[in-house]
Copies of this chain bind each other. A is one copy, B any other.
Amino acid sequence: MPKLSLAGIFPPIPTPFGADGEVDHDRLQDNFERWNEEQLAGYVVCGSNGEYAYLTPDERVELIRVSRQAIPDGRLLIAGSGMESTQQTIDLTCRMAGAGADAAIVVTPCYYRGGMTAAALVRHYRQVADASPVPVVLYSVPANTGIDLPAQAAITLAKHPNIIGMKDSGGDVAKIGYMAHETRGDDFQILAGSAGFLLGALAVGAVGGVCALANIAASRLIRLWESFMRGKAMEARGQQLPLIEVNTAVTSRFGVPGLKAAMDMLGYYGGPVRPPLMPLPEEDKATLRKILEKAELYHENNSSP
């Protein structure tokens, strides 16, 4: 019995900014109202899709506080508390726990990547987990960090009583399966870090996903997850395949600007990104709209003209 179940679908929510670039808590509230209608397992706040790298520690803590109020009981609030230094990560994790986070998701430090050996990463996560008042989820996202948390490091860390799982955004299902196998005796739950390989990851032992696409297609991903969980692999395949292209559009292809533009198109508040990220160009918006239509997300969600 896991201490805290990570089974299911979690959107890593974008941080809404107003026209002046400030965090807009009202818009966040509005988005949560709509997301709360879906059977989501919880939310990741201040993750990569939340532009955490552009937020001050104070803004991050405040986002947790505000999100906590908007999230109903029974759903997890997982707070992105990673910083480059171990001490700063510990400090922020404690503050976020105090602000209401149920768990902390901690990205691999990456600036001194030559020094981020498996040993260094294991020590980092152990010190954070030792100090954290809430359970810790490892987070590997090589597309942003240039670092793929090694399977052996994760397997070692899975033994730590306060490390309950890992979000892996690398998309290597052989690695995910290997980790699932080697940690089968531990309370260690793996989450697919992107909807593009959600089914592939579930097939080899992941328990759910933290998927940017869940911000705009929650019900579709939840159905996919349920199909697989009920043993309907072929049904799940039919639900997975049409979502890959649109998932790519709101992740690697168009990035957070693409995700926010899609949210704007579908009745959520996306709003501007913080510079140096650039807003999505008009021609890319047109492409994005076509992709949303092809995936049958545009008409389904959108009631605005």
Contact = CB atoms under 8 A, between A and B. Distances in A.
Interface of A: 21, 48, 51, 53-54, 56, 84-88, 109, 111-117, 119-121, 123-124, 127, 143-146, 171-174, 177-178, 180-181, 194, 196-197, 199-205, 228, 231, 233-234, 236-237, 240-242, 244-245, 247-248, 252, 255-257, 274-278
Given A146-B146, A203-B203, A53 B244 contact: no
A22 to B, nearest CB: 10
Contacts of A119: 278
10 contacts: A53-B84, A54-B84, A112-B277, A171-B172, A173-B197, A174-B197, A177-B196, A200-B200, A204-B241, A205-B237
Nearest to A194: B174
Q: Is the interface of A mostly helix, strand, loop or mixed?
A: helix
A227 to B, nearest CB: 10
Please tell me how many copies of the chain the complex holds: 4
A111 B244 contact: no
B143 A114 contact: yes
Contact of A121 (B197, B199, B276): B276
Contacts of A117: 278
A275 B123 contact: yes
Contacts of A245: 178, 181
| 5 pairs of A and B residues whose beta carbons are closest in the complex | A174-B196, A173-B200, A200-B200, A124-B276, A54-B85
B255 A115 contact: yes
A145 B53 CA distance: 14
A116 to B, nearest CB: 7
Contact of A242 (B116, B181, B228): B181
A196 B277 CA distance: 33
A171 B170 CA distance: 11
Contact of A278 (B48, B120, B172): B120
B200 A275 contact: no
Contacts of A276: 85-86, 109, 115-116, 120-121, 123-124
